[in-house]
A and B are shown apart, each in its own frame.
Chain A
Amino acid sequence: MDFGALFGSLDNFLSFTMGGLVFGAIYALIALGYTMVYGVLQLINFAHSEVFMYGTFAVAWVFIALHGTGSATWSLGHAIPYLLVALIAAMLLSAGVALLLERLAYRPLINKGAPKLIALISAIGASFALAEAMGLRDRIASWVGLDGKLANYVAPNKARDVFSNPVSIQPHGLFEIGGYKVTDVDLVIVVAALVMMVALDQFVRRTRFGRGIRAVAQDPESAALMGVNSTRVVQLTFLIGGLMAGAAATLYMMKIGSTRQNAGFLLGVKAFTAAVMGGIGNLRGALLGGLILGVMENWGSAVFGSEWKDVVAFILLVLILLVRPSGLLGESLGKARA
Chain B
Amino acid sequence: MIRFSKSARMLAVVAAAGLALSSCGSDNKSDNASSGSSGGSELCGKNLAFLGALTGDAGALGQNMVGGIELALKEYNDKHADCQIGLKKFDSQGSPDTAPGLATQIVNDDTIFGLIGPGFSGESLATGKTFFEAGLPSISPSATNVTITQQGWTTWHRVIGNDDAQGAADAQYLTDNGAAKVYVVDDGQDYSKGLAGKVTDTLGDAVVGTDQISVGQTDMSAVVTKVNAAKADAVFYGGYYTEAGLLAKALRQGGFKGTFMSGDGSEDPNFVKVAGAQAAEGAVLSAPAGPPPADFGATGLYATQSYDAANIFLAALDDGASTGEEINTFIGSYTADGVSGPIEFDENGDITQSKIYAYFVKNGELDVENPQAIS
Please name all residues of chain A whose beta carbon is closer than 8 Å to the beta carbon of B30 when the two chains form the complex: none
Residue B238, interface by CB 8 Å: no
Please name all residues of chain B whose beta carbon is closer than 8 Å to the beta carbon of A158 when the two chains form the complex: 59-60
Could you give, for residues 24-63 of chain B, a 1 whenever the CB lies within 8 Å of some chain A CB and a 0 otherwise? 0000000000000000000000000000000111011001
Chain B's nearest CB lies how many Å from the CB of A334?
Answer: 33
Please name all residues of chain B whose beta carbon is closer than 8 Å to the beta carbon of A309 when the two chains form the complex: 213-214, 217, 222
Interface positions, chain B 195-231, Cβ under 8 Å from A, are 211-214, 216-219, 221-226, 228-229
Please, which residue of chain A has its CB at the minimum distance from the CB of B60? A158
Decide: B216 and A73 in contact? CB cutoff 8 A. Answer: no
Chain B's nearest CB lies how many Å from the CB of A80?
Answer: 18
Please, which residue of chain A has its CB at the minimum distance from the CB of B187? A307
Please name all residues of chain A whose beta carbon is closer than 8 Å to the beta carbon of B249 when the two chains form the complex: 168, 257
Interface positions, chain A 232-274, Cβ under 8 Å from B, are 252, 256-258, 260, 262-263, 265-267
Residue B18, interface by CB 8 Å: no
Residue A302, interface by CB 8 Å: yes
Q: A9-B229, A258-B246, A305-B211 are in contact. Are A160 and B273 (CB under 8 A)?
A: no
Please name all residues of chain B whose beta carbon is closer than 8 Å to the beta carbon of A142 when the two chains form the complex: none
Residue A16, interface by CB 8 Å: yes
- The residue that A258 contacts in the complex, of B211, B245, B255, with Cβ under 8 A, is B245
Please, which residue of chain B has its CB at the minimum distance from the CB of A183? B253
In Å, the complex CA distance between A71 and B273 comes to: 7
Of B99-107, B127-135, B275-283, B339-347, the segment with at least 4 beta carbons within 8 Å of chain A is B275-283
Residue A124, interface by CB 8 Å: no
- The residue that B277 contacts in the complex, of A71, A160, A302, with Cβ under 8 A, is A71
Decide: B222 and A306 in contact? CB cutoff 8 A. Answer: yes
Please name all residues of chain B whose beta carbon is closer than 8 Å to the beta carbon of A160 when the two chains form the complex: 55-57, 59
Residue B188, interface by CB 8 Å: yes
Please name all residues of chain B whose beta carbon is closer than 8 Å to the beta carbon of A257 when the two chains form the complex: 249, 274, 276
Chain B's nearest CB lies how many Å from the CB of A31?
Answer: 16
Decide: A168 and B225 in contact? CB cutoff 8 A. Answer: no
Please name all residues of chain A whose beta carbon is closer than 8 Å to the beta carbon of B272 when the two chains form the complex: 71
Size bin of chain B's contact surface = 35 or more
- The residue that B217 contacts in the complex, of A8, A22, A306, with Cβ under 8 A, is A306
Residue A164, interface by CB 8 Å: yes
- The residue that A157 contacts in the complex, of B63, B225, B277, B278, with Cβ under 8 A, is B63
Decide: A298 and B63 in contact? CB cutoff 8 A. Answer: no
Interface positions, chain A 261-320, Cβ under 8 Å from B, are 262-263, 265-267, 297-298, 301-302, 305-307, 309-310
Please, which residue of chain A has its CB at the minimum distance from the CB of B242? A162
Please, which residue of chain A has its CB at the minimum distance from the CB of B240? A162
Chain A's nearest CB lies how many Å from the CB of B84?
Answer: 28
Decide: B222 and A170 in contact? CB cutoff 8 A. Answer: no
Q: A161-B57, A310-B214 are in contact. Are A73 and B278 (CB under 8 A)?
A: yes
The 9 closest A-B pairs by CB, nearest first: A168-B276, A19-B221, A301-B222, A307-B212, A73-B278, A164-B273, A15-B225, A162-B242, A23-B219
Please name all residues of chain A whose beta carbon is closer than 8 Å to the beta carbon of B297 when the two chains form the complex: none
Q: A161-B270, A171-B253 are in contact. Are A266 and B216 (CB under 8 A)?
A: yes
> How many A-B pairs with Cβ below 8 Å?
124
Could you give, for residues 156-189 of chain A, a 1 whenever the CB lies within 8 Å of some chain B CB and a 0 otherwise? 0110111010101011010000011101000000
Residue B364, interface by CB 8 Å: yes
Size bin of chain A's contact surface = 35 or more
Please, which residue of chain A has its CB at the minimum distance from the CB of B230? A5
Could you give, for residues 268-295 of chain B, a 1 whenever the CB lies within 8 Å of some chain A CB and a 0 otherwise? 0010111111110000000000000000
Please, which residue of chain B has its CB at the minimum distance from the CB of A267? B218
Please, which residue of chain A has its CB at the minimum distance from the CB of B255? A181
The secondary structure that dominates the B interface is helix
Chain A's nearest CB lies how many Å from the CB of B92?
Answer: 14
Chain A's nearest CB lies how many Å from the CB of B222?
Answer: 3
Please name all residues of chain A whose beta carbon is closer than 8 Å to the beta carbon of B275 when the two chains form the complex: 168
Residue A326, interface by CB 8 Å: no
Chain A's nearest CB lies how many Å from the CB of B209?
Answer: 9
For this complex, 16 residue pairs linking A to B, each with C-beta atoms less than 8 Å apart, are A5-B229, A15-B225, A15-B228, A71-B272, A158-B60, A161-B60, A162-B241, A170-B278, A173-B255, A256-B219, A258-B242, A298-B222, A302-B225, A306-B213, A306-B223, A309-B213
Starting from the known contacts A15-B228, A256-B246, A305-B211, 5 additional A-B residue pairs (CB-CB under 8 Å) come to: A179-B228, A180-B225, A298-B222, A306-B222, A310-B214
Q: A71-B364, A157-B60 are in contact. Are A16 and B225 (CB under 8 A)?
A: yes
Decide: A71 and B222 in contact? CB cutoff 8 A. Answer: no
- The residue that A170 contacts in the complex, of B57, B216, B253, B255, with Cβ under 8 A, is B253
Residue A327, interface by CB 8 Å: no
Residue A12, interface by CB 8 Å: yes
Residue B152, interface by CB 8 Å: no
Residue A85, interface by CB 8 Å: no
Could you give, for residues 67-93 of chain B, a 1 whenever the CB lies within 8 Å of some chain A CB and a 0 otherwise? 000000000000000000000000000
Chain B's nearest CB lies how many Å from the CB of A275?
Answer: 18
Residue from B57, B242, B276 whose CB has the most chain A CB atoms within 10 Å: B276
Please name all residues of chain A whose beta carbon is closer than 8 Å to the beta carbon of B56 when the two chains form the complex: 160
Please name all residues of chain B whose beta carbon is closer than 8 Å to the beta carbon of A150 when the two chains form the complex: none
Could you give, for residues 238-275 of chain B, a 1 whenever the CB lies within 8 Å of some chain A CB and a 0 otherwise? 00011001100100011100000000000000101111
Chain B's nearest CB lies how many Å from the CB of A2?
Answer: 9
In Å, the complex CA distance between A162 and B213 comes to: 18
Decide: A307 and B213 in contact? CB cutoff 8 A. Answer: yes
Decide: B60 and A302 in contact? CB cutoff 8 A. Answer: no
Please name all residues of chain A whose beta carbon is closer than 8 Å to the beta carbon of B241 when the two chains form the complex: 162
Chain B's nearest CB lies how many Å from the CB of A259?
Answer: 9
Q: A71-B277, A168-B277, A307-B212 are in contact. Are A5 and B270 (CB under 8 A)?
A: no
Chain A's nearest CB lies how many Å from the CB of B119?
Answer: 15
Please, which residue of chain A has its CB at the minimum distance from the CB of B212? A307
Residue A72, interface by CB 8 Å: yes
Please name all residues of chain B whose beta carbon is closer than 8 Å to the beta carbon of A162 when the two chains form the complex: 57, 241-242, 245, 270, 273-274
Chain B's nearest CB lies how many Å from the CB of A296?
Answer: 11
